[in-house]
Amino acid sequence: MTEPPAVILLSGGLDSATALAIARDEGFRPHAISFRYGQRHQIELASAQRVASVMGVADHVVVDIDLRLFGGSALTADLVVPHHDLVEELDDGIPITYVPARNTIFLSFALAWAETLEASDIFIGVNALDYSGYPDCRPEYIEAYERMANLATRAGVEGRQQIRIHTPLIDLTKAQIIERGLALGVDYGLTYSCYDPDALGRPCATCDSCLLRSKGFAGVGIDDPALVPARL
């Protein structure tokens, strides 16, 4: 029997690689989608390509969209990415690395692809625990998106299928995410999380994303394989 298709948002980071492993483990045939959206660096896209290739996906599309048209974020405009020494110092509230409507745009492309693939299932590795406080990572947002998606689409209207937005990581700590991924064989050495690497592509270790990742590996009690010097 053919496995049902699912669309997986794949950024090249730790969370989406884990979401991909979970989708596969749940018996879906993964179709990965990534975005060249005007982000500060292309390293995460190279990681997404490595992850897709090593973990095995039915196909992988990289969509070009230029969110620099709108700006408004330290990740897409000429603004400074904040750095901290400790994860406890992360700002309350929504940080400047929030990209306006990014997950809404990403999910909308995933929805278009799901419709043409006749897939009912979309996986997104959002997480509302060890996260940066982005509004579009919260469960109430995802529920509202799913409801909208079922009204937006041909299949939803014709009653042929219901779109489901899967968020398998949403209630997990970063350490729990890593443990889950390791159990499923994810090689986190392939993934990349830093918002603000140096000219050689080395993670800064002090942006929100690096700090959360580091907290996760510390919680599991292992070294981050992406930081082993031979991998850099």
Binding site for its own copies (CB under 8 A): 61, 63-67, 69-72, 93-94, 98-105, 108-109, 111-113, 115-116, 135-136, 138, 140-141, 144-145, 147-149, 151-154, 156-158
Residue 51 and residue 43: Cα distance in Å, rounded? 12
Nearer to its own copies, 141 or 188 (CB): 141
Least Å from the CB of residue 99 to its own copies? 8
Give me the amino acid identity at 10.
Answer: L
Residue 103 and residue 91: Cα distance in Å, rounded? 21
Report the DSSP beta bridge partners of residue 36. Answer: 64
Return the structure tokens found at 97. Answer: 């690395």
Report the DSSP beta bridge partners of residue 59. Answer: 31
Residue 216 and residue 18: Cα distance in Å, rounded? 13
Return the structure tokens found at 154. Answer: 């041909």
Tell me the CA end-to-end span of the chain in Å, nearest whole number. 41
Residue 38 and residue 135: Cα distance in Å, rounded? 20
Least Å from the CB of residue 88 to its own copies? 22
Nearer to its own copies, 165 or 212 (CB): 165
CB of 150 within 8 A of CB of 163?
yes
Least Å from the CB of residue 79 to its own copies? 12
Nearer to its own copies, 3 or 66 (CB): 66
Nearer to its own copies, 108 or 173 (CB): 108
For CA atoms 199, 93, 125, 205, the dihedral sign is positive
Least Å from the CB of residue 183 to its own copies? 32
Residue 51 and residue 132: Cα distance in Å, rounded? 23
Least Å from the CB of residue 18 to its own copies? 23
Nearer to its own copies, 18 or 73 (CB): 73
* Nearest alpha-carbon partner for 188 in 9, 25, 27, 55: 55
Nearer to its own copies, 47 or 103 (CB): 103
Least Å from the CB of residue 5 to its own copies? 13
